Structure 1
């Protein structure tokens, strides 16, 4: 995938590693940066990156050929990283969520607009084969007008990366922007809004229900209403020993059930036999498609698009809403 300039990968953790590998697959030139210089060096060697750095600011100063960057740092650093890059006119891909606080967002938006920078939020569910398949069924009117949605998503945090101590994961640490709310619900707020309309009303609870050794919420429960008058109920957690990712959508003509683990979509219509569809799924494909989309946005100069900075801001407003109550001491 031809593109002039160099991509700077900021953060060499699991998602940064994935983006660096995919950039290599797409034939993009890269430089890797991480506060752990040995980790940056290792990833640079694995992905044939041209250089590696400990300080992303130094990387930008030394390499004016950098035209785009991927921010894959812990969430609370995203705004600081993005502000520096935007001031230099560098196009930015920001892993979700945009931020863990409101501070700095308005300044960042002003800088992005003044510098005409392309910004894309990392929301891989929009490129997920299952979500795309079920979205097509909705658009085709298979179940008619949609009334309400129930989504359950959860997996056991210690099983996320079995070779790592879960207590060191960003998801387990408040200071790194972790917790089920910021880590998982940030995906669901975006994808539910994308599928069913902008979220207008919200109530919910976040809790730490388990004895897992962390200082963040391990469970979140939210009830929402969209601007299409669709009611959406979402639950996500770090507790389910058998991973679950399941959605039930009730419409005027019938029901659609999606099992994102089994890669199955079931359409139930009255008087007809249930239709079970398997969809193809390759775990890395959505990340490749996501990166290809970002590159195309840059080529097209598309500053305004459906995953721009304002999409990230909308999700942050939901994450920080006082309508989501803490029901245990977190």
Structure 2
């Protein structure tokens, strides 16, 4: 009897991701305790902060730097890092399965090249894995206009990072998606309107001083010149990895590899950058650049999904 492996694709992907993550992690660190993880080169600094906050029971606030998802998960799974690897491997398996529903050439090569990102964001309760799944489901909603997918995507992204939910909220509405070029143009030129709103929300944030740089001054006070401010701000977010003070660490090396994969993909499939979905992802990055914290790591989940959808289709598409 011939086995239909397509029925078990999610399980197969999960087993591969989970087993590979476990093997690589054990080779690097030797055991699966949280203590060893926080002392290793694989640990991003904010993970220890979230872990300590989970022990203190810090109240979550929308404008604080405390990540609700990470703190909540660490409060439940406080002993062994294997739990985060297990949960994140499930999340990534679902994300990859959703992405594979859209048939693309070079899909296997794409995920192989980005496996360092999958591995890195599978360790610790990082928000990026959940964001990638949320953005993947958002992409399915854009293709299918399914309200259930839209709500599911919004909830996942809201849990992972509330500010991202603001960025994707307009894309849940078909009228906005159908007029994305016009809306993106308005967003670029009328930045002072929503820039002032978001600045007001985060005025008491620890990171509020980041609004005082050159490009943000243009975006806040000068409607026409805000176009220039937006270009500078988005470029700085994308190029942030090259100016990070800790270049050479494991984390930045992995993020840098993601940058090169996305850059090569954009160059090779440049014509597809002008599709309607590409403008939607550009809109998300634009809104994110308005937040008090904006760096390359924040757009990795977007590039992870965006890079896949601009790959050549296996079959002729009407898009």
Q: Return the TM-score normalized by structure 2.
A: 0.29
Q: Return the TM-score normalized by structure 1.
A: 0.28
Structure with the larger helix share: 2
Structure with the larger strand share: 1
